[in-house]
Chain A
Amino acid sequence: MNFDVHAAALVLAMAFFTWLLRFLPFLVFRKNTPGYIVYLGKVLPSAIIGMLVVYCLKDVEFSVAPFGLPELIAAVSVVVLQRWKRNSLISILVGTILYMVLIRTVF
């Protein structure tokens, strides 16, 4: 059996550059972290989570039926549950099950 060398090279390239992106900031700011970067470190987490929410919903079609309603209803239920119980596991579990039920039965 021939080992696919080209595929292995691609996997290595993807792995190495993924590592590089993850390690680079730690290597560059190893000694003293500038105040600006510390500031970014404090404000970026909530901003990025906001971005990831949009990223997850990017392919939802709001202009054609069912107008993204299953996603919206399930998303709102997650927010409400999280406010109420403050337990991520419950919010995620109920939200996901609700979504799976909605796309099978209602929409």
Chain B
Amino acid sequence: MKNQSAFVIKQAFYKSLPVLAGYIILGIGFGILLRNAGYGLFWAFAMSSFIYAGSMQYVGVGLIAGGASVVTAILTTIMVNARHLFYSISMIERYKDTGKYKPYLIFSLTDETYSLLCDGQVPEEASGSRYRFFVSFFNQCYWVTGSVIGSLLGSVLPFSTEGIEFSMTALFIASFTEQWLTGGNHIPALTGFLCSLLCLVLFGPEHFLIPAMLLITLVLTAVQSRIRMDREGTE
């Protein structure tokens, strides 16, 4: 029993490694920004523990420093984090029987955690929930650790880390490729990529995410009968 548990934790740690560098570095960036805005360790720790949403926290620094109203903060949160609705919808079935782990699994569903867990692969079915919990938990540890380091260091870093943020991009590209290689039907992947690209061109980098999500849902709904028939044909 004990060995089995250690095995699951080890597998989860291995799975979470691609996120480690990215989260530490992005977390440090956040901690530094927040400290420069006049909010120290307590705030960095609290925000990374309770909000735990990377891009939202970066935006949040601006809101707090600028003394935004609560209503503005709420509206901004909904705009920036609307994509989390999508992540949750696609995890409803997968997280169905995760028992006591469920609340934390839902709370900790960030972009990166989602990309690690959305393929549904676990080392062994029986300990799946535990495995998912530890992958999610390790990721948040990296994020909180990074934020705390950033807050403590201020802007003095011993080495240049320019370009390390590409690890996040690389993570998504690797997940995309892996799903492409394992999944039979490529329509969903192509829909996601091409709709987003189209909306990026039309709406620009600041505003393309919400139109892209709407267009993706629309297209996937339109091709629903075709894909469903396809699945029944192959299964």
Could you list which residues of chain A lie within 8 angstroms of chain B, going by C-beta atoms?
Answer: 4, 6-7, 9-11, 13-15, 17-19, 21-26, 29, 33, 36-59, 71, 74-75, 78-79, 82-83, 86, 88-89, 91-92, 95-96, 99-100, 103-104
Contacts and interface: CB of A to CB of B under 8 A. Distances in A.
A95 B196 contact: no
A80 to B, nearest CB: 9
Contacts of A100: 162-164, 166
A49 B115 contact: yes
A95 B91 contact: no
Given A14-B60, A14-B77, A49-B192, A36 B181 contact: no
Interface of B is mostly: helix
B221 to A, nearest CB: 8
B70 A10 contact: yes
A79 B46 contact: no
B88 interface: yes
B77 A13 contact: yes
B228 interface: yes
A85 to B, nearest CB: 10
B79 to A, nearest CB: 10
Interface of A is mostly: helix
Contacts of B39: 4, 7
B96 to A, nearest CB: 9
Contacts of A25: 85, 88-89, 92
B9 interface: no
